[in-house]
Amino acid sequence: MHRQTMTLAAIAVLAAAPHANAATATATFDAHVQVVAACETSATPMDFGTLTGLIKGSETATSTLTVTCTKDWPYSLNLEAGSGAMSGTGATPSDKVGYSATLVNTSDVGQGNAQTFTINGQLNVQDTPSAQDYRETRTVTITY
């Protein structure tokens, strides 16, 4: 019985002891990403509102241009000329409302987040055309 007790005690001690032949292995890996320069842009409508009466040439409106480019990447903006006139969308599409649109700051360096620019618009002094909506789609090109 004494021998059985000693054998059981020895087994218990060996079971509780760390394995003499346990080993570990490690591996390393690199995390990688390549960022390629890119820009995105969007703009709000330039809305001169509803005019009652005559066009006086003092009516102004703005459009907010939002540009997001890769950090530290230079870019330039170009407001394409357009026709300089919004065309009627109703009964007399040949009627036009002349206006100007200017983008003052035309270059910058990307910040990695949204940057805003203002496009200023002003109606030209002109004979007031027929009552209807007038529209023109303008394009801003970003080169980076």
Domains of the chain: 39-143 (2.60.40.1090)
| pLDDT of the residue at 28 | 97
Q: Higher confidence at residue 2 or residue 51?
A: 51
d(CA 38, CA 139): 18
Q: How confident is the model at residue 17 (pLDDT cuts 50, 70, 90)?
A: low
Bridge partners of residue 134, in order along the sequence: 88
- pLDDT higher than threshold 70 for residue 14: no
d(CA 106, CA 126): 29
30-89 pLDDT tens trace: 999 999 999 999 999 999 999 988 899 899 999 999 999 999 999 999 999 888 899 999
Enter the DSSP assignment of 35. Answer: P
85-140 pLDDT tens trace: 999 999 999 999 999 999 988 999 999 999 999 999 999 999 989 999 999 999 99
| pLDDT of the residue at 104 | 86
| pLDDT of the residue at 79 | 96
Residue type for position 40? E
| pLDDT of the residue at 53 | 81
